[in-house]
Amino acid sequence: MSASGAGQHVVVGLSGGVDSAVTAWLLKEQGYRVSGLFMVNWTEDEAGYCTSAEDFQSARAVAEELQIPLHRVDFSAEYRKRVFDLFLAGYAAGKTPNPDLLCNREVKFQPFREHALRLGADWVATGHYAQITHEADGPHLRRAVDDNKDQTYFLAAVAREHFERVLFPLGGLTKPEVRALAQQAGLPNHARKDSTGICFIGEREFREFLAQYLKPQPGMIEDDAGAVVGQHQGLAFHTLGQRKGLAIGGRRGAREAPWYVVAKDASRNVLVVSQDSAHPRLMTQDIATDAFHWIRRPASMPATLTARIRHRQALQVCAVTAIDGDRVRFRFEQAQRAAVPGQYLVLYDGDECLGSGEIADLG
């Protein structure tokens, strides 16, 4: 990103949060002509879980303070089709999908970016904690300076061409620095709490939400020796490694220790649990992905790479052991716990994010 925008038009995704507000402020300080674009993804708010109306008022206050125009666009139909429906289908199939990756791939860097460019943008910017370098061979996605806030995991499924003309001004800052800049700039939302959870779920209990869309399919809960220890309401409501919400009371002969989901036996509709948090069925060194999405595929694969199988996991040393068409198999130096089909393996070479693939097979 140039030190000076020199009057170039940048459209910033203003969400109402402090990160996007500071993004807009920084770009204006650098000489860009800034416009804000507020995106509506979810309009069903019968129980008051969606904060879209409150978020828009916050975004509008920021735009007024910065004296920039604010546009509002409704992508709720696209979001339902491209993100929410896939999210439900994944859970119904026994997977654990990640709607944040789907949202970035299917909405924020497709119709959102295209809408911004139709508004005459030279650049599109968001408040993601990531870095992007625009080089002769195309854009390179790189991890943020603040590893605790790095969001490249959520961006790793975006098509490389959709990073063209995209700026991530917060990539070189830490969250405390962003908060300090917001206060220094007098932004009206400088003390606003960060949003948590998935927008269409809000603060409600996850199983309660899923039960509105997926029918219960009760079955037995068995321990790893085959003894029945409880009953579940549906395999879709559980994920590998889960320890809460199993409703398994004290069992004669069992230790006073938590139970963990270690497997789903779909053929018998049985949930398998154990009190061993590192049960062999939870641990694997070999992970294969479905069609791997390369943001940048190295001409020759480095012998050692790193990857993570969930957001905020420390980077794990791994190597590519096989490429079969689009599918890629990895072997990790250390066994990985609860690698869940439906989640994504995100691959790195140093600080560069090379791409991602949906976890398909283990072992």
Catalytic residues: 103, 199
How far is the C-alpha of 244 from the C-alpha of 248, rounded, in Å? 10
Show the DSSP H helices in 258-304 as ranges.
none
β-strand 123-125 against 166-167: which pairing, if any? parallel
Write b or e for each residue in 194-213: b if 16 or more Cβ atoms lie within 10 A of its Cβ, otherwise e.
eeeebbbbbeeeeeebbeee
Which two structure tokens, joined as six digits, stand for 320? 């590519």
DSSP string for 209-231? HHTTTS----EEEEETTS-EEEE
Which two structure tokens, joined as six digits, stand for 80? 């339902």
Residue type, 25: W
Residue with tokens 């949906």: 358
The residues with which 343 forms a beta bridge, in sequence order, are 341
How far is the C-alpha of 319 from the C-alpha of 349, rounded, in Å? 11
What does the CA dihedral 201, 207, 210, 212 come to, rounded to 10 degrees? Answer: -100
In a 3-state reduction of DSSP, which class is residue 344?
strand
In a 3-state reduction of DSSP, which class is residue 115?
helix
How far is the C-alpha of 23 from the C-alpha of 144, rounded, in Å? 14
Q: What is the DSSP letter of 51?
A: -
